[in-house]
Amino acid sequence: MKFVAFERTKQGTGASRRLHITGRTPGIVYGGKAHQPVNIELDHNALWHALKKEAFHASILEMELAGQTSKVLLRDVQYHPFKQLVLHIDFQRVEADTMLHMKVPLHYSGQENSPAIKVDACLVNPVMTELEIACLPADLPEFIAVDLSGLKKGTSLHVNDITLPKGVKAVTHGKNNPVLVSVVSVAEEAAPEAAAAPAAAPAKGKGKK
């Protein structure tokens, strides 16, 4: 995805407020061995629509700035607490030989064809919707496709059960083979609810005559 940014010379709360009034969003781009951080501004409406796209959050972007194109990653977005307004945005420059750490979406499919659902009518619960990975920029996937058609009753799908794209490694921060998807039978799901139901109130004794 491509977007256009403009160099921003004025800083501070007042300058940012004036930018928002004129339909611009302040931001910064940093990183790169031979580059200094640069304050930038972007068209707010174009940015707002771009942020609705999954690829804008989890893929390498092409930023045009001062007539030059750089490869960058979205690193942080600050939203207004109740207005449809982006307050500030951060991008990081990407170099081909620098290892990236990113969270990418998990796209699940095929669960309706799994024995867990077709045969045993189980519930399939995604535990994780994104996965942190490490890879070089050229190997960064927009998402990771996960096939759930082999799920069975009484089993769970773990990180080590899926095939990651070439050059991509999962980052689990010391967790041993985290669960991606759990399979729960309807009976198991209903049991805790039944146990939590309050006991029937005892019948009141007869009053004094």
Q: Which residues contact 130 (CB under 8 A, 6 or more apart)?
A: 103, 104, 105, 106
As a whole number, mean pLDDT of residues 158-162 equals 96
pLDDT score at 209 = 46
pLDDT score at 192 = 55
Residue 196 has pLDDT above 50, yes or no: yes
- State the DSSP string of 123-170: EEEES-SEEEEEE-GGG--S-EEEE-TT--TT-EEEGGGSPPPTT-EE
User: Over the stretch 90-131, which tens digit does the pLDDT of each residue have?
Assistant: 999 999 998 999 999 999 999 999 999 999 989 999 999 999
Q: What is the mean pLDDT of the chain?
A: 89
For the structural domain made of 100-195, what CATH number should be given? 2.170.120.20
User: Over the stretch 142-152, which tens digit does the pLDDT of each residue have?
Assistant: 999 999 999 99
What pTM, to 2 d.p., does this model score?
0.78
User: Over the stretch 182-192, which tens digit does the pLDDT of each residue have?
Assistant: 999 876 555 55
Any idea where the domains of the chain sit in the sequence?
2-93, 100-195
pLDDT score at 132 = 96
Tokens 């080590």 belong to residue: 160
pLDDT score at 188 = 57
Give percent of the chain with pLDDT exceeding 70. Answer: 89
Q: Tokens at residue 153, please? A: 């009753």
Question: Of 61-65, 149-153, 160-164, 197-201, where does mean pLDDT reach its minimum?
Answer: 197-201
Fold observed for domain 2-93: Ribosomal Protein L25; Chain P (2.40.240)
